[in-house]
Amino acid sequence: MNYKDPSTQTPVRVLLVDDETSILEQGKIFLKKEQEELNIDTAASPEGGLEMLEEHDYDAIVSDYQMPQMDGLEFLEVVRNERDNDIPFIIFTGKGREEVAMDALNLGADRYLQKGGSPKPQYGVLAKAIVQEVRHHRAERERDLARKEWQKTFDALPDIVSLISPDFEFLRINERGARALGMEKEEIIGKKCYEIVHNQDAPIDACPCEKVLETGEADVGEEFEENGRHYIAAAAPVVDENGEVEAFAHTVKDITERVRAEEEKRKALKDKERIMNTVPDVVYQLDEEGQIVEWNDELVEVSGYSPQELEGKHAIDFFPDQQSEKISNAIETAFQEGFACIEVDLKTKSGEKIPYSFTATPIKDEEGKPIGLTGVGRNISERKESEECEEL
C-alpha cells in the first residue's frame, strides 16, 4: 500500500545522491510508486548534488554514505555549514556502521537508514521517512515564520508590552519596553518587574498584575509618573488549559502628551473663567438651540439663580414674556447676519426687571459652521434714568 500523508498536498522535490546509477534509477522508480507526490532528481556524486542545489530548491536530500572523492558525511557537512541549508537530509546506505550513524546525526542528518534486501519495503520506509521529515520541516518553518511575524508585531507596538509570570518575573518584553528601561532584553528577562521598574522589593499598591492574581480578571491600574513622564498600566490574565493563570499580559501606555494636553486645557479654561469673571458685565454662551451653556459670576449675582438653576435654561427664560419674540428674532439675526444687539429687560428670579443691552455673535466650528452664540449683557439702568430725566 502506498503511504499517503494527508498533510503533504504540495509536491515534494527530492534530491537523490548515489554513485551507483542503478540505485538512482531504482530509487526514482520505487519512491514515486510509494509516494506519488515525490518528484525525484538524481545526482551521481555529491559534487553534482551541490551544483543542483545551486540551481533548484529542494525539500529533502537522500544521500549514500560511501562515495569516491566526497562521502555522504562530507556532503552533509558542506550542505549544513557552507551552504547553510537546513532541509531534511537522510543518509541511505548499505555500508554504514554505528559510529557513522552517530557522526551523521551529530552533523545534522535527520535520519540514518540502512538499504538492502527487497526494494519495495526499503523504499516504502524511505518514502515514509522523507514525507515525515518534510512535513516536520515545513511545520517548523511555518512556526518559525509565525514567531518572527509575531515578534515583529510585538516589537512594533508603540506601548510597552510584556509577559510577566505569576512570580512577577519578566518572561518577554518588546523593544519599546527595553528602550524605556534602558536595558537589553536579555538583561530584563527573569528579573522581578517591581525591582527594575519601580526600584521596590515588592509589587506597588497600584500593580494591576496583583489585582489580576486576586480576581482572575483584567485590570487597569492607576496612572503613575516616572522620570517626568506619565503612564498607565493594565494587565490581563493568560490562562492554561485548566483555567489557571500562568502569566500576565502587561501593557504600559505613555500618556504624557494626553496629560499635558488635559493640563493645558484645564489651564485655558481657568484663564477663560478668570477673564470672564473679571468683566463687570454679564458674559454668556448659548448652544444652537438657544440654551445657556456657559456664563460668568455676574449673571449668577444679577439674576439671583444658582449655577445649578441656570443649567439648561433657554435665553427666553431670562426675559418677560412680552419680549420673547424680540429675543427669538435677535438670536436668529445673530446666526444669519453674524451680529445682533438689543435692549431688553432682564427678569431676575425674584421678578425684578433690569434694563440691559445684549450683544450676540456666532461661535463657529473648524469648518465655519455656527454652533452657538456668545455675547455680553450690560446694565443700562443709569442711562435709562438719565434719558427719562432729560425727557422731563
Residues 163 and 143 in one domain: no
Cell of 33: 510508486
Residue 36 lies in domain:
12-152
**Percent over 90 (pLDDT), the chain:** 72
Residues 125 and 31 in one domain: yes
Domain containing residue 144: CATH number: 3.40.50.2300
Beta bridge mates, 252: 160, 233
Residues 47 and 176 in one domain: no
Q: Does residue 117 register a pLDDT over 50?
A: yes
Residue 27 lies in a domain: yes
Question: Residues 338-384: pLDDT tens digits?
Answer: 999 999 999 999 999 999 999 999 999 989 999 999 999 999 998 87
Domain containing residue 367: CATH number: 3.30.450.20
Residue 237 lies in a domain: yes
Residue 329 lies in a domain: yes
Residues 60 and 189 in one domain: no
The 3-state secondary structure of the chain reads: CCCCCCCCCCCEEEEEECCCHHHHHHHHHHHHHHCCCEEEEEECCHHHHHHHHHHCCCCEEEECCCCCCCCHHHHHHHHHHHCCCCCCEEEEECCCCHHHHHHHHHHCCCEEEECCCCHHHHHHHHHHHHHHHHHHHHHHHHHHHHHHHHHHHHHHCCCEEEEECCCCEEEEECHHHHHHHCCCHHHHCCCEHHHHHHCCCCCCCCCHHHHHHHHCCCEEEEEEEECCEEEEEEEEEEECCCCCEEEEEEEEEECHHHHHHHHHHHHHHHHHHHHHHHCCCEEEEEECCCEEEEECHHHHHHHCCCHHHHCCCEHHHHCCHHHHHHHHHHHHHHHHHCCEEEEEEEECCCCCEEEEEEEEEEEECCCCCEEEEEEEEEECHHHHHHHHHHHC
Residue 2 lies in a domain: no
Residue 269 lies in a domain: no
CA nearest neighbour of 69 among 87, 98, 47, 41: 47
| Rounded distance between C-alpha atoms, residue 166 and residue 213, angstroms | 7
Q: Does residue 7 register a pLDDT over 50?
A: no
Residue 211 lies in a domain: yes
| Rounded distance between C-alpha atoms, residue 256 and residue 294, angstroms | 29
When pLDDT is averaged across residues 127-137 and rounded to a whole number, the result is: 96
pLDDT of residue 179: 92
Q: How confident is the model at residue 390 (pLDDT cuts 50, 70, 90)?
A: low
Residue with cell 517591581: 194
Beta bridge mates, 14: 40, 60
Residues 143 and 33 in one domain: yes
Residues 17 and 108 in one domain: yes
Residues 206 and 230 in one domain: yes
Instruction: Write down which residue in 152, 167, 195 finishes a domain.
Output: 152
Q: Does residue 389 register a pLDDT over 70?
A: no
When pLDDT is averaged across residues 226-239 and rounded to a whole number, the result is: 88
Q: Does residue 6 register a pLDDT over 70?
A: no
Residues 108 and 183 in one domain: no
pLDDT of residue 99: 85
Residue 265 lies in a domain: no
Residue 119 lies in a domain: yes
Buried b (16+ CB within 10 A) or exposed e, 47-70: eebbeebeeeebbbbbbbbebeeb
Tally of structural domains, the chain: 3
pLDDT of residue 25: 95
Task: Spell out the residues 6+ positions from residue 117 whose beta carbon is closer than 8 angstroms to its own.
Answer: none
Residues 292 and 343 in one domain: yes
Q: Does residue 96 register a pLDDT over 80?
A: no
Residues 190 and 299 in one domain: no
Residues 242 and 169 in one domain: yes
Q: Does residue 276 register a pLDDT over 60?
A: yes
Phi–psi pair at 260, nearest 5 degrees: -65, -40
pLDDT of residue 8: 45
What's the distance, Cα to Cα, between the start and end of the chain in Å?
126
Residues 41 and 142 in one domain: yes
When pLDDT is averaged across residues 195-209 and rounded to a whole number, the result is: 88
Q: Does residue 336 register a pLDDT over 90?
A: yes
Instruction: Write down which residue in 152, 178, 213 finishes a domain.
Output: 152
Instruction: Write down which residue in 226, 258, 290 finishes a domain.
Output: 258
Q: Does residue 257 register a pLDDT over 80?
A: yes
> What is the pLDDT of the chain when averaged over all its residues?
91
Instruction: Classify residue 27 by burial, with Cβ atoms within 10 Å: 0-12, 13-18, 19+.
Output: buried
